[in-house]
Amino acid sequence: MATWFDESRLDDEAALAAADRVLRPLAEAGARVRRESIDASAAAAEAVARSQDEPRPRAVIAAGPDSRLLRAVLEPWCPVPFVAWPGPALPGWAGSLDLVVVLAPDGADTGTASAVAEAVRRGCQVVVACPPTSLVADHAAGRYSTVLPTVTRDQLATAVVMLEYLDRVSLGPRADADQVAEALDAVAIACSPHRDLAVNPAKMLAIALADSNPLVWGGSVLAARAARRVAESIRRASGRTALAGDAEHLLPVVEAARLRNVFDDPFADEGADLRPMLVVLDDGADDAVVREQRGRLLASAAERGVRVETVTTDAPTEVARYASLLLSGTYAAEYLRLGLVED
């Protein structure tokens, strides 16, 4: 059964209403960040006050499967050794001199609960962002433990709660929940389903994605993580190939693209292969390595006639820029899903 893209569905009221169940949660992303930050503020203030009476930790350990997001944010900034430990345990050297931080958006993962229980047993300082009545919260009870209560089960909102705490104890970069929420709100307004596709960047990107196999690239550590998440969203939405990686991983694909033939029939179905398209997630990172990689990718794309689409953000902090790029790409993936129909 053939699948084709009907761009008229992106402005069709009935089709958009049917997709409301997936588009509405995207629009509410900023509200979830605000809610989590407010609900956790009292517990966070208590944890910050307690930290004033204790020496700076020897190391920070991010435990659990959601630790990779914290690693992407904290590794360049944390003033003490930092390690992400996604397994259901802790490194053998972890002890009472160390801080263990855990993200558990749904609070039900047994591996995460096991890691938290081990941290409590070893006497570590423990800060856990999770639902207050959950398996992980139950295992976090201890003299040196703090639970930052969350309710939305949203990974990004949960991470912002933890990053705000780490910012306040001088262990992480600036992470203002209001600025993250404002960045998400700005994307929701620009990419609203009620905004015509002619002025809607997510709908326009979805149209470009429909005719291509996307290669998603972000130069900074956080932009690269957003690229991986966006590629996952595109794969789920379309069932097609979508790759994300470093420049050296994507360059061979770009360089292998067949040169365009002016005599190709763009409407011919038989034998028509989807060409690669480079999607650049630009968070404003401008160091020499990022400039060099971006230049190589763009030069190769121009040489092979590969289309390039760029998603930008002007959010004020690193976390807000990551959130903005991620939400923009997710909107585009959902519009891609909406426009794909089967004969």
Cα–Cα distances in angstroms (integers) from residue 69 to residues 83, 185, 214, 224, in the given order: 12, 21, 23, 11
What's the pLDDT at 261? 66
More confidently predicted of 147 and 259? 147
Q: How confident is the model at residue 342 (pLDDT cuts 50, 70, 90)?
A: confident
Mean pLDDT of 63-90: 91
What's the sign of the alpha-carbon dihedral 192, 195, 201, 205? Answer: positive
Write the pLDDT tens digit of every residue in 190-246. 999 999 999 999 999 999 999 999 999 999 999 999 999 999 999 999 999 999 999
- Name beta bridge partners: 214: 277
Question: Residue 262 has what pLDDT?
Answer: 59
Residues 50 and 88 in one domain: yes
Q: Is residue 24 part of a domain?
A: no
Cα torsion 337, 67, 34, 172 to 10°: value is: -130
- 104 falls within a domain: yes
Residue 208 shares a structural domain with residue 166: no
Residue 272 confidence (pLDDT) above 70: no
321 with 261, same domain: the answer is yes
Assess contact for 119 and 90: CB atoms under 8 A: yes
Report residue 270's pLDDT band, with 50, 70 and 90 as the boundaries. very low
Cα separation, 104 vs 131, in Å, equals: 8
pLDDT number for residue 317: 93
pLDDT greater than 70 at residue 128: yes
Q: Is residue 182 part of a domain?
A: no
297 pLDDT higher than 50: yes
Place of tokens 């190589």: 296
- On whether both 198 and 319 belong to a single domain, the answer is yes
- Predicted pLDDT of residue 263: 61
| SS3 assignment, position 4 | strand
Tell me the per-residue pLDDT of 150-163, one tens digit each, with 9 for 90 and over.
Answer: 999 999 999 999 99
Distance from C-alpha of 45 to C-alpha of 40, rounded to nearest angstrom: 9
User: What is the percentage of the chain residues whose pLDDT exceeds 90?
Assistant: 86
| 14 located within any domain | yes
- Which residues pair with residue 84 across a beta bridge? 62
| CATH at residue 208 | 3.40.50.10490
pLDDT value at residue 271: 40
In a domain, 186, yes or no: no
Confidence check: pLDDT of 92 > 70: yes
pLDDT at 260 over 90: no
Domain that holds residue 199: 3-19+193-342
34: Cβ contacts below 8 Å, ≥ 6 apart: 177, 178, 181
